[in-house]
Amino acid sequence: MAQEVFAPMHDQDSSARPSSAPRPARDPQVAYDEEQAWLLDELLDEYPGLMTYEEARLSRVREGGDWQENDAFEIAVRALGWAGLVRRQGDLLVPVRPARQMAAIGFSLG
């Protein structure tokens, strides 16, 4: 029977390990725009089905996610409402007709 040969531990490549160095901070405006784009794309992809606020939040924010993720999602919902692209009907998030039509003719809204 053949004997398996293992390389000693000091020969293993350590470059594949995740770095513990802090990640550079993202530009807040880019993060703000990306969050809105993701949410609008998600709602348009789901349409004519509708998503509740909680369904959309759970598809974006990990269960038990930190307050920053939840806050970014809430800000995106409000910003899309202020821009007139998403309307809240009770707990439902509804992409408005102009947003749906722009997406249908090929404009990238997200």
In a domain, 15, yes or no: no
* Max Cα-Cα span within the chain: 72
What region does 106 belong to: left with phi over 0, alpha with psi -120 to 50, or beta?
left
Q: How far is CA 84 from CA 13, 41, 78, 87, 95, in A?
A: 52, 15, 10, 7, 9
pLDDT of residue 13: 47
**Is the model's pLDDT at 87 over the cut of 80?**
yes
Domains of the chain: total: 1
pTM, to two decimals: 0.67
Q: What digits encode the pLDDT tens for the residues 15-55?
A: 444 444 455 667 888 888 889 889 999 999 999 999 999 99
Residue 60 resides in a domain: yes
Q: What is the residue range of 42's domain?
A: 27-86
Residue 41 lies in a domain: yes
